[in-house]
Structure 1
Amino acid sequence: MDIKTVKDELQNIIHGKSDSGQKTLIQTIANYLGGSQRTSTMAKSDKQYKQKETANLIAYCNQNNLWVNDKVNFDLFISEGAEQKVYIKDDKTVYKLNDSIYYSTWLDYFTNLALNNYFFPDTTYSLVGFCLIEQTLFALLEQPFVKANQPTNLEQVKEFMANNGFENTRNHDYYNSELEIILEDLHDENVLTQDGILYFIDTVFYLKQ
């Protein structure tokens, strides 16, 4: 598959277009936020931009019944990072609550999810809905539960990424110059190994501006 075809596919995914006519909730939300972005007069770097974006998302959730606070059993908490809290759903799936803190906009965060699902379908995110907890908005996601049974070899990660066009730029960060995609933070807590296979469970994708 040539680079132009891949770029076209990625643009279709990010903007909620699909050859099958099916659209995931992630793509629906990204499409909604993209429309709001095009009509906004504020710069994305403006701190008030994300506040406005969050208010728009809350209104959208109210209009479309996307609140799912009752889905999570908060007693089944298993881990927490700077960006998200993880809970067990069942023996095959985890819930992840994420407030998009790593991203300047919610649209950038949902673009990250769409890119993860394209590049790493074994750890696809599904958007369940949204939770409002102590006045903070969280996206609630499902993801396959991966139980590591051996340490991750970071040289193997580097080789895997190189074979897929991503150059290691520094530490655990990578860049694909043809697709203009940045992928950060691929350390051994975000890439797990099960039976010799790498599973990318927490990705931080950015499109180069």
Structure 2
Amino acid sequence: MDRAYPPINNLLEQAACITGRSKEATGEVEPTEGYKGRQIKKLIEFANANNLWIDLSPLNITYMDKGGENEVFHDGKSSVIKLNNFEYAGDDLENFFIRINAHNKFFSNVPYQMIGFSYNSRQEFSAVLTQPYILAEREATEDEIVEYMEALGFETDYIDEFHNDQYEVFDAVPNNVLYGIDKDLYFIDTQIRLKK
């Protein structure tokens, strides 16, 4: 999907590199809680230098929902726009980029694309992500989710948690996984982290 928008090609990779370099620059001097603040500051500088700010106000979009980290809008066509405030990244934004890359690897039928940055309704710095809008027949069942994840090579830890040798996927619950009208499953909002 990145290739369809050449001006923002590789934005996700560039932002991930900036957060990684920012963390490396602090070394052992700063506690881990400080990483996130420094990483956000570097991403704001990156957004300013490259005109990557997205203003949603003039766009013809419809508010859909809000969760712990996302404010979700529909563009009225084929995409969902998510303002992600990095809440679930913890103290290190690298976790956010690991999650998005892993999501796109395992759930490539509903990939995220990073298109810029903005501030959400609570004035929190946020990544602006797009994702295909899914025409769903219903939410997936727990059994369908388990079968799908096992087909991807994951082992079931709990009904909504899975792991393979590299990653842990959790919050794979029916309201985060849709059963499309095409009979495929779409994992639209799960959590993924590197396996400890």
TM > 0.5 between the two?
yes
| Distance of 1:181 and 1:101 partners within structure 2 | 19
After superposition, the CA RMSD in angstroms is: 2.2
1:123 match: secondary structure: coil
Counterpart pick for 2:85 among 83, 99, 103: 99
Correspondence 1:1-209 to 2 at 5 A:
24-42=10-28, 46-70=32-56, 73=59, 76-104=62-90, 105-133=92-120, 134-177=122-165, 180-195=166-181, 196-209=183-196
Q: What fraction of aligned residue pairs are identical, expressed as a percent? A: 28
User: What secondary structure does 2:88 align onto?
Assistant: coil
Aligned residue type for 2:24: R
TM-score by length of 2: 0.86
**Shift in Å at residue 37 of structure 1?**
1.9
Bigger CA drift: 181-190 or 74-83?
Answer: 74-83
Residues 193 and 103 from structure 1, CA distance in 2 versus in 1: closer, same or farther, beyond 3 angstroms? same
The DSSP-based 3-state class of the residue aligned with 1:53 is helix
Taking the aligned partners of 1:58 and 1:192, their CA distance within structure 2 comes to 34
Moved more, 167-176 or 36-45: 36-45
Structure 1, residues 157-201: CA drift from partner, whole Å, max 9, x if none? 101111211111123111102xx2111100011100013210111
**Worse overlay, 128-137 or 87-96:** 128-137
* Structure 1 residue ranges, 4+ long, deviating more than 3 angstroms after superposition: 42-45, 70-75
Deviates more, 1:50-59 or 1:35-44: 35-44
Distance verdict in 2 for CA 1:38–1:24, change over 3 Å = same
Q: What TM-score do you get using the length of structure 1 for normalisation? A: 0.81
Distance change (3 Å), C-alpha of 1:164 and 1:75: closer
Q: Which residue of 1 aligns with 2:4?
A: none
Structure 2: gaps of 5 or more residues? 1-7
